Amino acid sequence: MTTYRTARGTLIFYFLLLVFTTVVVGPVVMAQLPGLYAFRLPVAVFAAAWVFALLWAWYIYLSTPFEITYRLGEPIVFRAMLKRTVLEPKAITSITTGPFSPTIRLAHAGGTINLLGQMDGFHEFLARVKTENGAVTIRGL
């Protein structure tokens, strides 16, 4: 069994960035809302959009896998804080760089999984997937 993990420093950086945005930037933005009325933007609409954006960012952070467990001949397990995805290597169709530079998009028969690019031993993981599934397309890595 081989386990590939996102670098701890990367996880801590994104966590602190989200905490700072939620605890510091959020109240500052909310304090400025009354001034936005000059732009004819209803305060409640902006506040709702801001809260939605924060909740979405937290959801993405908590549902992005930080660990991959791979045993040859067995399903691959992608573990995140909110969910766990298990899939066969044969179900993977492509592994490419994501829409944002530090992300990797793994497409499979049931959808996609977005990973952070700073994962220890990830090139070994790619080689093992390619060995078990010769049809997988790997681009940009």
Kindly report the CATH number assigned to the domain that includes residue 79: 2.30.29
Count of other CB atoms within 10 angstroms of residue 68: 23
**pTM tops 0.85, yes or no:** no
pLDDT by residue for the chain (141 residues), tens digit each? 788 888 888 888 889 988 998 888 877 777 776 665 556 667 777 778 888 988 998 998 899 899 999 887 789 999 999 999 999 888 899 988 866 667 888 999 888 888 887 788 888 888 888 888 888 888 877
pLDDT for 121: 83
pLDDT at 40: 63
68's tokens:
């991959």
Rounded to whole angstroms, how far apart are CA atoms 41 and 123?
A: 48
Give residue 132's pLDDT. Answer: 86
Residues spanned by the domain of 101: 1-141
Helix (H, G, I), strand (E, B) or coil at 3: strand
Q: How many domains does the chain have?
A: 1
What span, in angstroms and rounded, lies between the C-alpha atoms of 25 and 138?
38
> What local confidence, expressed as pLDDT, does residue 65 receive?
92
Which amino acid is located at 20 in the chain?
Answer: F
Answer yes or no: are the C-beta atoms of 112 and 123 closer than 8 Å. no
Is residue 139 within 8 Å of residue 97, measured between CB atoms? Answer: yes
